[in-house]
Structures are given as C-alpha cells and as structure tokens.
Homo-oligomer: A and B are copies of this chain.
Amino acid sequence: MSVTTPTAPVRAVPEDFAARIEAALARRPEVEAHVERAVAAGVDNIFLVGCGGSLFGFGPLRVLLDRSPIPCFTVNADELLTRRPAALGARSLVVISSTNGGTAETARAAELATQVGAQILGITQDPASVVGQACPELVLHQGIEAKQVVLALLGWSLLDALGAAPEHAEAMTALQASPAAFRTAIDEMDADLDRVAAALHAEPVVYVVGSGPLESAADTLAMCYLQEMQWKHAVAVGSGEFLHGPFEMVTEDLPVIVLTGEDTTRPMGERVIRFLERYSDKVHVVDGARLTLPGVPEAMRPFVGTLVMASTIVGRLAEHFEAWSGHALSERRYMWKVDY
C-alpha cells in the first residue's frame, strides 16, 4: 500500500558508524602481513568466494583487481565446491567472505581450499562462526562499510605486492579519509534516498541497474534488501545487458533504479539513463558522483565513491524503504527459522 508519509522515521545512524571504519583501517598491518606471506609463498591466482551479499560485496574489489597481473575469479561457494576449477590449487589465494560467518557452504569452500593447500584468508564479523572456524587466518570487521575497507586494503596490498599499484600511497590516503567520506555520504544523499523510497515503496516490482564495481551492488539491493528484507520483487540487471533485452519491459510505469559512480564504466549507466529518461517516468538515478567525499584525493574519488555506494548508500536506501513500507528489514519467513 502506498502511503504519503513514512510509516516510521528512518533508523538513526549508529553511534559507532565511523569508529567501525577506523577499526577496519587499523587492520592494515594485519592485512598486509597476510598478503606478504601469501605472495612470498607463491600465488598464481586469486579466488573471491562467498554467497549472497558476501559474494556481491566483492564487486569493488573484483574490478580493482582488473589491473592484477594474475587472474582473479569471483565465485559462489557452492559453485566452487561442485565445479572444482583446475585453477584452484596450492598456488591460489582464496579470500573467503561471510559477514555473519554462518554460511555452511562457504565454510566448506574454506575446507576445500585447505585440502588443496591454498592460502586462505577469511573475512567475517564472527571468529566463532562456522566460517570463522574453517579459515586458518581471519581479518575481522564490524559492518558493511568496514568490510569494504578491509577488502580494499586487501586489494591494494595485493596489487602493491604484485607490482601493479603505482598509486598505492594515494589509495591509502584516500582510505584514511574514508570514515568521514562514508558518514557525510548519508547526510548528502538522505533526502534523495528518502524520495526514491517514497516513490517506490509500494511498487510491486523494481528494476535495479549497475555496471562495473556497482554491477553487484545492484544484486545486493535487489536480492538482499528488496527481495529478502522487503519481500518486494526486484530484478538486478547489468547496465551492459539492460539494452539487450530487459529494456523491452520499459513503459512510463516501470520503476528503475540506476546506480552509477565515477569509475570507468560510468558511460554504460549514462547510456541506460538516456534511454530511460525518454520512456519511463519512474527513473531514479543514485549517483556516486554527487558525493563530496571530503579528504579523498580527486584521483581516488571513483575508488572510494564505489565503496560508499556499494555499502552505505544501498544499505541506507533499504532503511528508507523500511521507513516507508513499515516492513522491518529484520523480518524473515525462512532465514534462521527453518532448515534448508
């Protein structure tokens, strides 16, 4: 049911919002030590492994590693277990991600990686979880922003160790500034995100489009937030696919959220937006280029902006949906309730 005022006020930003990100930054020596050890032992390829939001959360790192001299594969944990690609072996670095650590197949993927003698680094909030227990080495974090910062530290450290990060120092400067950049992003976009949720909270189906480092942020918004936590039909589409099929759904009534940033794939989103602005009255662009990102060097805006968009901004948009719909983000039909 569409309402004209929010059902409840949007959640307050947690008191420790910036502190959690600072804590992630403090993990830098730990992350670098893991990477140095792995690279010294010999690494021929990198696997980024998880499920659902933890898999989609690799989006920015996956694209950062486009410049890596060794290949990087982003794979669902169960796909890894059942397909067992030949590239997975003793000279692989396997990054295992599970925010709450409770995903059984992600823990099994860590066990498989152990069996083949790979280097393993687990990223989780809970060292006592099944995933935490299955990983010989862990980097802990609290919150989705902190996870993006840990993954970014990992990515830049890897690139540096592999001789592919001439701008490493600037990236570290940018990450040091990121707690304020994440926090100001909420204030800067809150009114816009409120308008998006006001307009779309009662729509039966919402399309979400993104490219490059934000392609899987579209998956996060569609599958984790709208489907899982709002019980709303949502269709995630890569910007590069939108005009090759999904765009035939567009009428003036089709609600589409386009996520864009300042990364090199921006023209892909702009092309989709140009099309949508001609044919739909329900286009909502959430654009990382609008963020001020205080303290972030100009050249690092695309990088930091993407981290913010892929975590804080899509998460905050979900909180605005919650405020308008009255459907708590914590409500579940099955998760944590039944076996599956």
Decide if A248 touches B63 in the complex (CB within 8 Å).
no
- Contact of A94 with B by CB under 8 A: no
* Contacts A71-B71, A334-B250 given; does A238 touch B87 at CB 8 Å: no
Q: CB-nearest residue of chain B relative to A75? A: B240
**A68 to B246 alpha-carbon distance, docked (Å):** 33
Residues from chain B with a CB closer than 8 A to the CB of A265 are: 78-79, 82-83
**A29→B249 CA distance, assembly (Å):** 42
Inter-chain contacts of A335 with B (CB < 8 A): 247-248
Give bound CA distance, A323 to B215, whole Å: 34
Do A55 and B248 have beta carbons less than 8 Å apart?
no
What B residues does A231 contact at CB under 8 A? 248-249
Contact for A212 among B83, B215, B267, B275, CB less than 8 A: B83
Q: Using a Cβ–Cβ cut-off of 8 Å, how many residues does chain A contribute to the interface with B?
A: 68
In the bound complex, CA of A228 to CA of B241 (Å): 11
Q: C-beta contact mask, A77-91 vs B, less than 8 Å → 1, else 0?
A: 111001111110000
For A82, give its contact among B85, B204, B247, B268 (CB under 8 Å).
Answer: B268
Q: How far is the CB of A270 from chain B (nearest CB, A)?
A: 11
Q: Are B228 and A248 in contact (CB under 8 A)?
A: yes
A-side residues, CB < 8 A to B, are 45, 51-53, 55, 63, 66-69, 71, 73, 76-79, 82-87, 103, 105, 164, 204-205, 211-212, 215, 219, 223-224, 227-229, 231, 233-235, 237-241, 243-251, 264-268, 271, 274-275, 279, 332-335, 340
Across the interface, do B67 and A85 meet the contact criterion of CB distance under 8 Å? Answer: yes
Known pairs A233-B235, A241-B76; A275 contacts B340 (CB<8 A): yes
Q: Roughly how many angstroms separate A231 CA and B205 CA in the complex, as a whole number? A: 13
Choose one: B84, B248, B274; the contact of A333 (CB below 8 Å).
B248
A63 contact set on B, CB distance < 8 A: 83
A104–chain B nearest beta-carbon distance, Å: 10
B78 near A240 (CB under 8 angstroms)?
Answer: yes
Contact B53 A245 (CB under 8 A): yes
Q: In the complex, A249 Cα to B45 Cα: how many Å?
A: 36
Contacts of A85 in B (CB 8 A): 66-67
Structural contact, A241 and B67, CB atoms closer than 8 A? no
Q: Are A268 and B79 in contact (CB under 8 A)?
A: yes
By Cβ-Cβ distance, the 4 closest A-B pairs, closest first, are A52-B244, A76-B240, A71-B71, A228-B245
A79 and B247 contact, Cβ closer than 8 Å, known pairs A164-B86, A241-B51, A340-B275? no
Q: Nearest Cβ in chain B — how far from A337, in angstroms?
A: 10
Most buried by B among A215, A249, A332: A249
Quick check: B245 and A340 within 8 Å, CB to CB?
A: no
Residue of B nearest to A241 (CB): B52
Cα separation A205 to B333 with both chains bound (whole Å)? 20
Chain B residues within an 8 Å CB radius of A87: 68, 71
Known: A86-B69, A235-B234, A334-B248. A55 touches B267 (CB 8 A): no
Q: Which of A87, A240, A251 has the most chain B CB within a 10 Å cutoff?
A: A240
Kindly report which residue of chain B lies nearest to residue A246, judged by CB atoms.
B227
**Cβ–Cβ < 8 Å partners of A243 in chain B:** 340
**Distance A251 CA – B333 CA, assembled complex (angstroms):** 9
List the B side residues contacting A82 at CB < 8 Å.
211-212, 264-268
